[in-house]
Amino acid sequence: MISLEKPSKGIFIKERKNRFICEVMVKNEAVECYVPSSCRLDNFIDLHGKQVLLLPTEAPNARTRYSLFAVPYKRNHILLNIGKVNSVIERDIKKRCFSTLGKRSEIYREYKIDSYKSDLFIANSRTILEVKSILSLGKGAVFPTVFSQRTLDQLKEISSLMDRGYNAALVIASLSPYVEQIQIDHASPFYEALRPCVEKGMQLLAVSLHIHQGEARIKKKIKIEL
């Protein structure tokens, strides 16, 4: 559960050279906060001087007291804690937007098949779910926004597993509730690695996330174009 019942508020100052650390002004004190993202946020969104919401850091011996959670945007929030996305998808996997995946009663997180570790695995249908996030402020977004060799390696492994009878689905989650369509970038190495998987039957799904009653949840299924 991701609670917004009593979040701490602060004013974002800057990201440090260490991409997992930022500075936030909290009660007139500049404090370090954990940035739960593998990419620098300033590649996607300008947070300087903006109010942000913080949650207590979960790890008991963590370097920072707070973890960056979300930023208010229009009438809702943009989720900044990318580490929570898999949990949201797992919890909401039985929603109608995932109906094409069939029966979804046996779900496992970080399920290992040989050297590959899936974000989620549906045992009912032997379906591998690879979950990716995107942060865009517009109604349309292009994926991917950054190069990731790890993602290319994952797709290669998934393709091999599909040859062995496994099913697969790629789920792209928009951290903004206002994105309505995602376009796969045909000029990217990602597209070239994805295409063999799609030809073997990989499903492409996209959803937008929002904050509802104190939790990050799926808002709706959105269009994804290959």
| Burial class of 1 by CB neighbour count within 10 A (0 to 12, 13 to 18, 19+) | exposed
Give start-end residues of each CATH 2.40.50.580 domain in the chain: 8-73
One-letter amino acid at 18 equals N
- DSSP per residue, 163-202: HTT-EEEEEEEESSTT--EEEE-TTSHHHHHHHHHHHTT-
Q: Which pLDDT does position 213 carry in this prediction?
A: 73
Dist. CA 94–CA 56, nearest whole Å: 29
- pTM as predicted: 0.89
**pLDDT by residue (tens digit) across 155-211?**
999 999 999 999 999 999 999 999 999 999 999 999 999 999 999 999 999 999 998
Question: Fold for domain 8-73?
Answer: OB fold (Dihydrolipoamide Acetyltransferase, E2P) (2.40.50)
Share of the chain above pLDDT 90, in %: 78
- pLDDT higher than threshold 50 for residue 3: no
Q: What's the CATH number for 83-225? A: 3.40.1350.60
Of 216 and 2, the one with more pLDDT? 216
> Do the Cβ atoms of 50 and 12 come closer than 8 Å?
yes
Distance of alpha carbon 117 from alpha carbon 201, whole angstroms: 20
